[in-house]
Copies of this chain bind each other. A is one copy, B any other.
Amino acid sequence: MAWDTERTKRLLLDAGVEEFSAHGLAGARVDRIAAAAGVNKERIYQYFGNKEQFFGEVLTRELGIAIDAVPIHGSGIDAIADYAGRVFDYQCAHPELARLTFWEGLELGDPVAKEHRRARSVDKVDRILAAVPELTREEAEELLLTIVTLADASQALPNLDALYTGALPGDAARLARRRAVITTIVRTWEREPSRAAALD
């Protein structure tokens, strides 16, 4: 077979998603990633520098895929509620992503590729504002943060779920209920004149 370095890189990134999602940056084992990818671990250092930089690449790739996969459509608060539901669905389908995001927050503090991701976030906020012009920018920011936090947490923190609802992991009815809670919360964003007052 001919050289196919892109394939090798992709194999490593795929294995990295699994490993980092499961164990985080400190807990991940470079040897395991290489073995799962069927590639020598030296390749990781050659292609990506070191473990931490590699983690950054993994996270950046997954985040990029996710943000493109869930666009905002339509207008009105229901469009945002619909968006929130689809964010939730995406997280359910790709639970690694929420875990990666949380590992990043805990282990790194400062986000990787900060500028790039910040720009993307501003873009999302712009789209929310375009869909619901009544909101202030700050309200839209808080709304987006709330959506992402709740959707991510429901995937990444099964412990809270088990504790507060007694739910078993993978309970579909539970997931549907949680989804409904989130979309309902989003819809309240427009019906609350007191909200704006609270944000003086």
Contacts and interface: CB of A to CB of B under 8 A. Distances in A.
Interface string A130-167: 00000000100110111011101110111111111110
Contacts of A103: 106
A144 B26 CA distance: 31
A2 interface: no
Contacts of A184: 192, 194-195, 198
Given A188-B185, A192-B188, A195-B184, A125 B164 contact: yes
Per DSSP, are chain A's interface residues mostly helix, strand or loop, or mixed? Answer: helix
A7 interface: no
A182 to B, nearest CB: 9
Given A118-B166, A145-B165, A159 B99 contact: no
A106 B156 contact: yes
A160 B195 contact: no
User: How many interface residues does chain A have, given as a range?
Assistant: 35 or more
Interface of A: 23-24, 26-27, 99, 101-111, 114, 117-118, 121-122, 125, 138, 141-142, 144-146, 148-150, 152-154, 156-166, 177-178, 180-181, 183-185, 187-188, 191-192, 194-195, 198-199
Contacts of A106: 24, 99, 102-103, 106, 156-157
Q: Could you say which of A108, A144, A180 has the most chain B C-beta atoms within 10 Å of its C-beta?
A: A180
B161 A145 contact: yes
B148 A150 contact: no
